[in-house]
Amino acid sequence: MKLYDFKMAPNPRRVRMFLAEKGISYQQAGIEVVNVDIGKGETFSKEFKEISPYGGLPVLELDDGTRISESMAISRYFEELYPETPLMGTDAKSKALIEMWNRRLELGLYTAIAYSFRHGNPMWKPVTNQVAEFAEVSAENADKQIHKLNKHLAGSKYIVGDEFSVADITALCAIDFAKVIKRRIDEEKHPHLARWHKLVSERASSQA
Ligand SMILES: N[C@@H](CCC(=O)N[C@@H](CS)C(=O)NCC(=O)O)C(=O)O
């Protein structure tokens, strides 16, 4: 199978971290990586649009030609194939809570950062009707989400209780991506987020 990937982008990083946490070797799983350089505009090409009509990386192409895009759908695929080291919960409650946080983080934090980047950075001009005010409002929304997450982490070791999960992967990839809109963790303002960030960044998978 093929994994369409780009090292610097947050959603492909989520899948790489997921695979690393599960200890899945690309060689054993038969995964060939195809690099698609977003910086060079390769995702805007006609060829890539055929591979990913709804846009975006990552895409997993199975040997029968099926293409799975959406980082969480790809992660789900591997969670089902390799249930050891579960990252999406083990019972009704943990599965629901992980899904709840994962969706919150995607729809709230990640989306605010992504909109601010898309509407505020010149690299997106050829493919986005940029609205500068929307970039600003989205950055403010990202700040609010970061503030809320810091409060949540005051009472929780990981995003969901004492177990590392895919919700931590989503949060880490979103928080690190926030540097594109010049947001970095301020230890004074967000001590709980800083504590969690250090904890999850120390995991080998964060380098995947
Ligand atoms: N919801 C999708 C988002 C996919 C997405 O926006 N990917 C970005 C990289 S992080 C991308 O490929 N951007 C380039 C483009 O849209 O042309 C997912 O979770 O996979």
Could you tell me if the CB of 4 is within 6 A of ligand 1? no
CATH number for region 92-207:
1.20.1050.10
What would you report as the CA-atom Rg of the chain, rounded to the nearest whole angstrom?
17
In the chain, the percentage of residues whose pLDDT exceeds 70 is 100
- For residue 85, the tally of other CB atoms under 10 A from its CB is 11
Distance of CA 154 from the midpoint of ligand 1 (Å): 30
CB neighbours of 179 closer than 8 A, spacing ≥ 6?
Answer: none
Residue from 57, 123, 124, 128 whose mutation best tests the ligand 1 pocket (most atoms within 8 A of CB):
57
Find out if CATH 1.10.1670.10 is the number for domain 2-81.
no
**Would you state the pLDDT for residue 195?**
98
Question: H helices within the chain, ranges in order?
Answer: 10-22, 26-29, 46-51, 71-81, 92-104, 111-120, 132-153, 166-177, 191-201
Whole-number Cα distances in Å, 99 to 52, 122, 126, 181:
24, 34, 34, 26
Residue from 11, 46, 74 whose mutation best tests the ligand 1 pocket (most atoms within 8 A of CB):
11
Segment 32-85, tens digit of pLDDT = 999 999 999 999 999 999 999 997 999 999 999 999 999 999 999 999 999 999
Segment 82-136, tens digit of pLDDT = 999 999 999 999 999 999 999 999 999 999 999 999 999 999 999 999 999 999 9
> Counting atoms of ligand 1 from 1, which one is nearest the CA of 36?
12
Q: Of 148, 149, 135, nearest to 180 (Cα)?
A: 135
Amino acid at 12: P
Q: Where are the domains of the chain?
A: 2-81, 92-207
Note the pTM of the prediction, 2 decimals: 0.97
pLDDT band at 180 (very low <50, low <70, confident <90, very high): very high
Could you tell me if the CB of 38 is within 6 A of ligand 1? yes
Could you tell me if the CB of 10 is within 6 A of ligand 1? yes
Identify any residues that bridge with 5 across adjacent strands, giving them in sequence order: 35
Segment 125-179, tens digit of pLDDT = 999 999 999 999 999 999 999 999 999 999 999 999 999 999 999 999 999 999 9
Q: What is the mean pLDDT of the chain?
A: 97
CB-neighbour burial class of residue 183 (10 A; exposed 0-12, middle 13-18, buried 19+): middle
